[in-house]
Amino acid sequence: MRQYLRTVPGKTISFILFVLSVAAAVLCVLGAIIMWEANIYTTPKAVLLEDTLESVVYDIEAPILSAARARYNGAPVLWPNKGSNFRFILTDPEGKTIAMSEGITGNETWTYTHTYGVGFGEWNEEYYYGSPSDEENVAFVFRSYIDSSLKAGDAFALMGRLIGALYALRIAVYPLGLLMLILAVVCYVTLLCVSGRRPEDEELHPGPLYAVPFDLILAAVIILALLVIWFIIDHAINFSHPSLTAAVIAASLFLGLNVFGGLSMSASARIKGRTLLTNTVIWRLLKLLWRILCFLGRLLKRLLRFLLSLLRGVPLIFRTLLAYLALCFINLLVIGTNLHDPDLCFAFLIIELILLFILVAYIALTLRRLQKGAQALAAGDLDHQVDTKGMLWDFRRHGEDLNRIGEGMNAAVEERLRSERLKTELITNVSHDIKTPLTSIINYSDLIAKEPCENEKITSYAQVLTRQSARLKRLIDDLIEASKASAGSLDVVPEPCSAGVFITQAAAEYGDRLKKAELELITQLPEKPVAIMADGRRLWRVFDNLLGNICKYAQPGTRVYLSLEEREGSAVITFKNVSRSALNVSPEELLDRFVRGDASRHEEGNGLGLSIARSLTELQNGTLELAIDGDLFKAILRFPVIG
């Protein structure tokens, strides 16, 4: 069914059905209106039939009267009954019969009795119509009845059948009209659905009119309709020919209905193809207009940009001056020409002040943003980006410059880190390569030293070799560690640990060595445990280096103090000892690589210990500080205390 409706015959049938059902519905409505007008719903059938037939009787009586008077010659004129249901007898003013239907016996029951004036039919028929019952003019009398069988096919029979039909239909028009209306709607919806479709697929197959802009078609239809209406009003409405007029109007309406159906189908197909609005002349015109506006907008923007670039060419100071002068000029111009109207001047000043406030506020906010960015950069946050969104003119350029500084510095820092790492890698690799021959040197010098030999010198020389190669070994290990620590390529895993336990452990580890160096270690711990975040092994290396230095450089027979305090949220670990030789370097220099307290450098040690200690401490978010007071040497470690 659905597929069939999509075929051409299906569509055609739907269309015809639609037109017919609309026409039928209209006819039903019209019929109902006419029947109301004719009182069919309020008058009984017999009464209406009689009244109607009487009006026909009037119509035929006048010509019969004229003809009878003309043909009267003393004897009654006999009227043939053939083809008529009308029976009558006509008498003149004297009561003589001048005409009668054939077969009248005088015993009939007359239904209608009409009188006509004497002059009737001589001058003007219409003259007497108005007063046929005027007593003074009563002259001719028509007595008539109608054969109720209505066998003959005359006007009475027609009228009788018509009224019979009307009475039969007077109730039926309502359901019929409703039915037709429903059918019309169904057909209409069907038409809308099948428009542009074909039975074989679900694609849109628009008709040939599809390409024509819809509003063009609509305009053509409206113009046509207006022409038809104008024609009907001006020419076709002619009351002397009512049936012709009605025919023309009906034909026009029928045509209009067809056009409406076609138009609806086209619109439906366009909606399906989403071209109802786009395939219109108006749409195309609007689009063209929009394009023109866009083009003009671009042109204007380019012009503005050109002017701005011209303005930007002017140095900042001159530009500011220029703006200031322009403002002064506008002020002078407006106020000077409106001195007579102080209200206007006042209003102008208020507006100007508001605009200036907006400008000043904008400048202040933008400057604040730039300032924040610069502060962040100065504080070392090189990743900070100034948000230049919404900034104008020189502010934007300044913000972008600041961002570029950050980028440039970031690149430099990264480059430095990279080269540090490369350096560390190089040192590590070289150190590994040095270690292999060093192993042989150490081993064989050891073997020489152990070899029983008469020449004591050889043994002592071999011992020097052994001692120095051992120093070289330590130097290499320290070198690797120092370069790794300063390049930050050591992985540090801080864990909560107790600084007090640390000092206890370190003191125990170093107990023997300190005793050997004739030093007395005194540890001072607080009662309360102090917890810090540190990588135990790395922190031990720091302690190892500091205590190792003490063993090497402290004056034998003195006391060494190792103390822990909690001060202002920091765990402060202090190493105190008395130096054996005079310290004539600054603490800062001591922390540099390869700098040692004794200028002669003949002591064991390589000057890397403190540098490593500081790097490792800093990797754990701590600080190492050295203080020298005469011969008193202090190393102070600080770590943040954790709750």
Q: Out of 35, 405, 438, 595, point to the residue binding another protein (CB under 8 A).
A: 438
Distance, in Å, from the CA atom of 192 to the CA atom of 180, rounded to the nearest integer, reads 18
Query: Which positions ≥6 away from 426 have C-beta within 8 Å?
Result: none
- Smaller CB distance to another protein: residue 19 or 525? 525
- Smaller CB distance to another protein: residue 66 or 489? 489
Token code pair at residue 353: 């002040």
- Smaller CB distance to another protein: residue 204 or 490? 490
What is the dihedral sign for C-alpha 79, 83, 87, 90? negative
Does residue number 540 form part of the binding site for another protein (CB under 8 A)? yes
| Backbone φ, ψ for residue 250 (5° rounding) | -65, -45
Start-to-end CA distance of the chain, whole Å, equals 85
Contact 464, 523 (CB under 8 A): no
Question: Which residues is 116 bridged to in the sheet?
Answer: 140
SS3 for 142? strand
Does residue number 421 form part of the binding site for another protein (CB under 8 A)? no
- Ramachandran assignment for 87, one of left (phi > 0), alpha (psi -120 to 50 degrees), beta (any other): beta
In the complex, minimum distance from the CB of residue 504 to another protein, in angstroms, rounded to a whole number: 4
Q: Out of 320, 419, 443, 586, point to the residue binding another protein (CB under 8 A).
A: 443
Does residue number 477 form part of the binding site for another protein (CB under 8 A)? yes
SS3 for 508? helix
Does residue number 439 form part of the binding site for another protein (CB under 8 A)? yes
Token code pair at residue 400: 């972008």
In the complex, minimum distance from the CB of residue 425 to another protein, in angstroms, rounded to a whole number: 12
Distance, in Å, from the CA atom of 634 to the CA atom of 576, rounded to the nearest integer, reads 5
In the complex, minimum distance from the CB of residue 491 to another protein, in angstroms, rounded to a whole number: 9
Does residue number 175 form part of the binding site for another protein (CB under 8 A)? no
Does residue number 537 form part of the binding site for another protein (CB under 8 A)? yes
Q: Out of 190, 469, 486, 611, point to the residue binding another protein (CB under 8 A).
A: 469
In the complex, minimum distance from the CB of residue 528 to another protein, in angstroms, rounded to a whole number: 13
Q: Out of 25, 28, 539, 619, point to the residue binding another protein (CB under 8 A).
A: 539
Question: Which of 69, 169, 85 is CA-nearest to residue 121?
Answer: 69
- Smaller CB distance to another protein: residue 376 or 438? 438
In the complex, minimum distance from the CB of residue 482 to another protein, in angstroms, rounded to a whole number: 14
Token code pair at residue 323: 């703006």
Does residue number 608 form part of the binding site for another protein (CB under 8 A)? no
Does residue number 593 form part of the binding site for another protein (CB under 8 A)? no
Distance, in Å, from the CA atom of 403 to the CA atom of 385, rounded to the nearest integer, reads 6
In the complex, minimum distance from the CB of residue 502 to another protein, in angstroms, rounded to a whole number: 4
Question: Which of 256, 300, 259, 257 is CA-nearest to residue 22?
Answer: 257
Distance, in Å, from the CA atom of 148 to the CA atom of 157, rounded to the nearest integer, reads 9
Does residue number 499 form part of the binding site for another protein (CB under 8 A)? yes
Q: Out of 145, 444, 461, 561, point to the residue binding another protein (CB under 8 A).
A: 444
Does residue number 480 form part of the binding site for another protein (CB under 8 A)? yes
**In the structure, how many helices (H) and strands (E) does the chain have?**
17, 12
Q: Out of 2, 241, 432, 467, point to the residue binding another protein (CB under 8 A).
A: 432
Q: Of 148-156, 307-315, 345-353, 432-440, which segment contacts another protein by CB under 8 A?
A: 432-440
Distance, in Å, from the CA atom of 585 to the CA atom of 375, rounded to the nearest integer, reads 36
Does residue number 507 form part of the binding site for another protein (CB under 8 A)? yes
Does residue number 561 form part of the binding site for another protein (CB under 8 A)? no
Does residue number 600 form part of the binding site for another protein (CB under 8 A)? no
Question: Which residues is 565 bridged to in the sheet?
Answer: 572
Residues that bind another protein (CB under 8 A): 431-433, 435-436, 438-444, 446-447, 469, 473, 477, 480, 495, 497-502, 504-505, 507-509, 511-512, 523, 525, 532, 534, 536-537, 539-540
